[in-house]
């Protein structure tokens, strides 16, 4: 990374922050508390690392406003409401410098069908394919080897990274971001057995709609609907290696972590969080604000604001109690066996 921020720059960038201490160092790097050196900026985003702050060699440390302590000589504490969010804002600024926006235009190796529409402010990279009837909106960036299918509509300010595929008739609203290898609109998994015992493919003639500010992780797949649409709500963020099946309807501002699998026609309401490797059966209804713990398997509906984990999934406290009971099973088995032996001996006497 190549960037520089003076203390004056940081003051201007975080006007609501309060500073304690002095440093003559220019910030040239970012590092975690334990590894930071002079010239680095670090932050306290999780209270479990609080004990590392006094020993950190970072020149500037972003801290919560209620942090108690004083900086070392040549060090500055910059107290803000949310250090993690503050760092995210700074990283967004750094990203603009490190990864400049490509110039508008279509690369000579890209193919754009004559009946497609590409806004003059959009950038289409090497070896992209844009099919007939597709629309690419203002200021979009399509990096190399992106496939845009028949009659796809892409809104404004979207970013499609290398080897993304957006299949026929899918719709991306504004500011959608697709990481490398994401596939939007692959066929849903649908088959019907015929009278010969063979699995006959069911045509999947629907499409996928990604609402504004949706982000999709690398190698995640979202299947087109059997009919109508598979929909991902505004502001939802989906991690890498997630599979979302046909006709799923997902609400706004959900967080879906890596390796989640959601079966067909499941409805997920707004602000739902699913941790890694959660598996959902089909045709479920997950209530608003629910949280599902890692590696949980769910085969029943959830009311709003549920907090569950386990396979099958139980309310969080019940699941925790069951884990404790499982650990006690060997000892319980031993005690029952001893009681049976004693009871048998007493009956023989």
Beta bridge partners of 45: none
Residues 6+ apart with CB under 8 A from 189: 223, 245, 246, 264
Catalytic residue among 246, 283, 300, 320: 246
Rounded Cα distance, 19 and 229, in Å: 51
Buried b (16+ CB within 10 A) or exposed e, 257-275: bbbbbbbbbbbbbbbbbbb
What's the burial of 315, exposed, middle or buried (CB within 10 Å: 0-12/13-18/19+)? Answer: middle
Are 78 and 62 contacting, i.e. CB atoms less than 8 angstroms apart? yes
DSSP character string of 109-167: T-EE-TT-EE-TT-EE-TT-EE-TT-EE-TT-EE-TT-EE-TT-EE-SS-EE-TT-EE-
Residue 23's closest CA among 79, 64, 77? 77
DSSP 8-class letter at 187: P
Instruction: Calculate the CA 182 to chain-centre distance.
Output: 13
320 assigned to active site: no
Rounded Cα distance, 58 and 38, in Å: 5
Tokens 């994401």 belong to residue: 182
Rounded Cα distance, 75 and 19, in Å: 10
Quickly list H helices, the chain.
7-13, 83-98, 316-348
Catalytic residues: 246
């Amino acid at each position: 990374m190549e960037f520089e921020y003076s203390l004056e720059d940081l003051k201007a960038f975080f006007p609501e922050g309060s500073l304690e201490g002095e440093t003559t160092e220019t910030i040239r790097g970012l590092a975690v508390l334990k590894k930071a050196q002079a010239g680095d900026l670090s932050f306290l985003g999780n209270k479990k690392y609080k004990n590392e702050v006094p020993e950190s060699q970072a020149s500037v440390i972003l801290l919560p406003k209620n942090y108690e302590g004083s900086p070392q000589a040549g060090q500055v504490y910059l107290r803000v409401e949310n250090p993690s969010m503050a760092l995210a804002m700074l990283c967004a600024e750094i990203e603009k410098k490190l990864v400049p926006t490509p110039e508008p235009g279509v690369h000579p190796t890209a193919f754009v069908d004559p009946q497609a529409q590409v806004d003059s402010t959009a950038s289409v990279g090497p070896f992209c394919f844009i099919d007939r009837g597709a629309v690419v909106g203002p200021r979009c960036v399509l990096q190399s080897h992106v496939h845009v299918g028949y009659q796809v509509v892409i809104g404004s300010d979207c970013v499609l990274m290398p080897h993304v595929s957006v299949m026929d008739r899918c719709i991306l609203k504004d500011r959608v971001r697709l990481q490398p290898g994401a596939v939007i609109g692959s066929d849903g998994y649908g088959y019907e057995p015929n009278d010969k015992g063979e699995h006959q493919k069911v045509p999947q003639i629907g499409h996928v709609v990604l609402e504004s500010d949706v982000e999709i992780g690398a190698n995640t797949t979202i299947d087109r609907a059997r009919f109508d649409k598979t929909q991902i709500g505004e502001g939802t963020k989906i991690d890498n290696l997630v599979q979302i099946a046909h006709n799923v309807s997902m609400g706004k501002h959900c967080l879906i972590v890596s390796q989640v699998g959601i079966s067909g026609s499941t409805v997920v309401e707004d602000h739902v969080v699913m941790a890694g490797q959660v598996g959902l059966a089909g045709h479920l209804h997950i209530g608003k604000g629910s949280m599902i713990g890692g590696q949980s398997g769910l085969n029943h509906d959830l009311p709003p604001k549920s907090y569950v984990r386990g396979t099958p999934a139980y309310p969080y406290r019940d699941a925790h109690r069951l884990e404790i009971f499982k650990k006690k099973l060997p000892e319980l088995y031993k005690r029952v066996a001893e009681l049976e032996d004693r009871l048998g001996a007493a009956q023989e006497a």
